[in-house]
DNA sequence: ATATATTTTTAGACAAGTCTAAAAATTATC
DNA sequence: GATAATTTTTAGACTTGTCTAAAAATATAT
């Protein structure tokens, strides 16, 4: 059974929300992510349940079935491969790729995506540091932490961003911070959790709203 | 004003039909090409006329406005560039590209298509020999003729196919005929217009339904 | 020129996906 | 545990793009 573009977007939203909360995914959470009204979401949940892509019990949250999870992960695989393509082959910067990838992820052609994978030399991560699921839906999880939880005195490598909005990515570009940047934690302010960091031999102070959006790994 | 995927497909259909007939494009011709009923076409024609993409007078044929023509040609440009990409970069054969290009042609991103153009080294023709319109909607017309109209005793180069269905292209592959193949016309049968040709040092007889679908240029 | 055939348009209906407003269920509060 | 606030679902409507069946216009044939 083929999935429509809209159904695919719902599955992706449900998948992403379910990654952050363990419990069933609520109607309102989906509505917020999809930017639709809760009543529209309820309608769609019935359709997805009919297609055995989610388990849905009225008034309880929903969960992806294995079939639904595989469909969602396949869309995410395509999204991230296209983002790599745009950056590596078409000179896009990492803050320009998301919207185009949102369109490209719905193109249906297994050969297209397998060949793209090969053209890009089987990348494991997208331009924002997110892992690219393999053909079987397996995702390689790494032991990254959020920068706000890093320890004073330690040095880290930047391995990913959480917020990949253009504004945030441009802030990082301005300070020459990207994947692979070395970040040494000089000090952590108790009052507002802001951090003093040494990056590229310069000292920079970041507020909590920024350090909450960077993934790092201990060197 | 943004165009929907469906509107774009109608504009493309109208453009292609108008290339073959000079007169206004009829409702039925569009219905046949789009594979929809005439009543559906009438509904869409009203929408396209409201958007100033076509001129439409009830019971008379329709014509593209300049705005409509530019939109159609832009979709065709994208379609053909994607076809080149699929063949040159992703190892597709020329009979596999059309359906995927039908999807990709609707992706909206000027930067994407300009960068793709550069990646492919600004190709002038797609894998089927069709010209790729430039950024301004200009199309380079060449002096090709249909093989069925070629003269006995002359030698030609194959420069394009008209029918780019998978079946026809596979027939050509089987006989090692492609763009650039040299075709010498040995004889033309009066009775059924079939032609005896020398291609790749071998003699081959082609029926009119085949010679009607190959574009050639005198050497 | 009149009758017939074909093409095109209109009228009314349907599916997908969305909305608003109201009802029902769940959760939070006192 | 009753009441209030929040969440979720239902009911009914709208838009886009499609269909069938019937009416209107145009084209063809005698
Ligand atoms: Mn993205
Ligand atoms: Mn990404
Ligand atoms: Mn094509
Ligand atoms: Mn082509």
Q: How far A106 CA lies from chain B's nearest CA (Å)?
A: 9
Mean pLDDT of B39-45: 98
Mean pLDDT of B146-173: 96
Mean pLDDT of B157-163: 96
Tokens of B95: 């009979």
Last residue of a domain, one of B14, B47, B64: B64
Give domain status of residue B51, yes or no: yes
Give domain status of residue B103, yes or no: no
Q: What are the tens digits of pLDDT across the range A155-169?
A: 999 999 999 999 999
Q: How far is the CA of B87 from the centre of ligand 1 (A)?
A: 27
Give domain status of residue A27, yes or no: yes
Give domain status of residue B138, yes or no: no
Q: How far B23 CA lies from chain A's nearest CA (Å)?
A: 36
What's B164's domain CATH number?
2.30.30.90
Mean pLDDT of B110-120: 98
Give domain status of residue A60, yes or no: yes
In order, the DSSP letters of chain A are -PPPHHHHHHHHHHHHHHTTTSSPBPHHHHHHHHTS-HHHHHHHHHHHHHTTSEEE-TTS-EEE-HHHHHHHHHHHHHHHHHHHHHHHHH---TTTHHHHHHHHTT---HHHHHHHHHHTT--SB-TTSPBPP-TTS-------EEGGGPPTT-EEEEEEES---HHHHHHHHHTT--TT-EEEEEEE-TTT--EEEEETTEEEEE-HHHHTTEEEEE-
What's B49's domain CATH number?
1.10.10.10
The pLDDT assigned to A191 comes to 94
Spacing of C-alpha A3 from chain mean position: 22
Mean pLDDT of B147-159: 97
Tell me which ligand sits closest to the C-alpha of residue B161. 4
The pLDDT assigned to A88 comes to 98
Determine if strand C comes within 7 Å of the CB of B181: no
Backbone angles phi, psi at B160, to 5 degrees: 180, 165
Mean pLDDT, rounded, of chain B: 97
Mean pLDDT of B38-61: 97
Mean pLDDT of B182-208: 96
Q: How far A179 CA lies from chain B's nearest CA (Å)?
A: 23
Give domain status of residue A106, yes or no: no
CA of B28 to C1' of C4 (A): 20
Shortest CA to C1' contact from A39: nucleotide: D9
Last residue of a domain, one of B64, B80, B102: B64
Check whether B1 has a pLDDT greater than 90.
no
Give domain status of residue A140, yes or no: no
Give domain status of residue B153, yes or no: yes
The pLDDT assigned to A159 comes to 97
Nearest beta carbon to residue B91 from set A103, A109, A115: A115
Check whether A13 has a pLDDT greater than 90.
yes
Check whether B21 has a pLDDT greater than 90.
no
Domain count, chain B: 2
Last residue of a domain, one of A48, A64, A80: A64
Tokens of B162: 């008209």
Domain range spanning residue A193? 145-218
Beta strands of chain B (E only): which ranges? 54-56, 62-64, 145-146, 155-161, 182-188, 195-199, 202-206, 214-218
Check whether A21 has a pLDDT greater than 90.
no
Mean pLDDT of B117-141: 97
Footprint of strand D on the protein (CB under 7 A): A 26-29, 38-39, 41-43, 45-46, 56, 58-59, 61; B 4-7, 34-37, 39-40, 43-44, 47, 59
Q: How far is the CA of B161 from the centre of ligand 2 (A)?
A: 40
**Per-residue confidence band for B88, with pLDDT thresholds at 50, 70 and 90:** very high
């Amino acid at each position: 059974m083929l999935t429509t573009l809209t159904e695919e977007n719902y599955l992706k939203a449900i998948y992403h929300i379910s990654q952050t909360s363990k419990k069933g995914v609520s109607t309102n959470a989906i509505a917020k992510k999809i930017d639709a009204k809760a009543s529209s979401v309820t309608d769609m949940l019935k359709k997805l349940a009919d297609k055995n892509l989610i388990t849905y019990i009225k008034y309880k949250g929903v969960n992806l079935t294995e079939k639904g999870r595989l469909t969602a992960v396949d869309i995410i695989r395509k999204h991230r491969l296209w983002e790599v393509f745009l950056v590596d082959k078409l000179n896009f910067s990492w803050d320009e790729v998301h919207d185009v990838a949102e369109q490209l992820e719905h193109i249906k052609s297994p050969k297209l995506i397998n060949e793209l994978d090969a053209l890009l030399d089987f990348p494991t991560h997208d331009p924002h540091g997110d892992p690219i699921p393999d053909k079987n839906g397996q995702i390689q999880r790494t032991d990254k932490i959020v920068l706000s939880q890093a320890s004073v005195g330690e040095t880290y490598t930047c391995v990913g961003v959480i917020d990949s909005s253009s504004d945030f990515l441009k802030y990082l570009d301005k300070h020459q911070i990207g994947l692979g940047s070395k970040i040494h934690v000089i000090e952590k302010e108790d009052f507002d959790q802001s951090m003093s960091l040494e990056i590229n031999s310069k000292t920079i102070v970041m507020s909590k709203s920024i350090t909450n959006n960077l993934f790092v790994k201990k060197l």
